[in-house]
Amino acid sequence: MLVDTHCHVFHEYYEDIDDIIKRARDNGVGAIIVNGYNMKSNREVLELVDKYDIVYGALGIQLEELDDFNDDNLEFISRHINDKKIVAVGEIGLDYHYECDRDKQKELFKRQLEIARKYNKPVIVHSRDCIQETYDILKESSVIGILHCYSGSVDMAFKFIKLGFFLGIGGIATFKNARKIVEVIKDVPLEYIVLETDCPYLAPEPYRGKRNEPFYITVILQKICEIKGLDYKEVEAVTTNSVIRLFDKKIKL
């Protein structure tokens, strides 16, 4: 069975969630982790994990949602982080791709890392155009987790691995110009790689430009097999076991 460690299966993007879940299950996906990123999506995460057996959740406030950065909303995350089937703090992190208040981003990131540390939860981290700053903060945080949609170098990948992080590999690995992530997949041992779709975004080839969904995780797995010269079942087993280990066996397949 496969695990999609990062997706956004919300009503904002999908009118057919029942069908999405069924297609995932029918294609060998045993669990998906739906990541919140603001208060609306965090509340929907709680509804989805209760409704669907294969759905698990992560709660977080992402950097694009700085208006949701207040004590009440962080308290909501703390209050629900130990709810049944809530397995991580996420999606959280930094993004310097666009003009932003970097100091406020860092403060939001650090405060949510503190929630994860306090409640002994892994984190699911977004980092774009700021890989060194992300590393520096995580190095001081004493948490473990996943670098979602990893986009750094091979050398930086091993630095994150030493901190206790796994690399989330998604649809970008299938793109024709994805040289950097292909090198990472080649050089990093399989046991430090986990699978994700980031749906509805970043659909893999041959579905690029279309709506992504969790069952496309199978396409990403096949690409990793091709890059590393490994058998499908081996990659399936190793990546799934890594997820189960990271989340302390709270994900049931």
Nearest alpha-carbon partner for 38 in 18, 74, 65, 63: 65
- Which sign, positive or negative, has the C-alpha torsion 97, 100, 102, 106? negative
What is the reported pLDDT for 97? 82
For residue 196, being part of any structural domain is answered with yes
Q: Would the pLDDT of 112 be above 90?
A: yes
Task: Give the pLDDT band (50/70/90) at residue 98.
Answer: confident
pLDDT tens readout for residues 118-175: 999 999 999 999 999 999 999 999 999 999 999 999 999 999 999 999 999 999 999 9
> Does some domain include residue 253?
no
Give CA–CA dist 13/71, Å, rounded.
Answer: 28
Distance CA 126, CA 8 (A): 14
Q: What is the DSSP letter of 93?
A: E
Backbone angles phi, psi at 206, to 5 degrees: -95, 20
112: in domain: yes
* β-bridge mates for residue 35, sequence order: 58
Domain of residue 93 covers 2-246
Q: In this predicted model, which residue has the larger pLDDT, 188 or 96?
A: 188
Task: Tell whether 195 is covered by a domain.
Answer: yes
Listed in sequence order, the residues at least 6 apart from 212 whose beta carbon sits closer than 8 Å to its beta carbon are 171, 197, 198, 199, 200, 201, 202, 203, 204
CATH number at 45 reads 3.20.20.140
Q: Domain for residue 251, yes or no?
A: no
Domain tally, the chain: 1
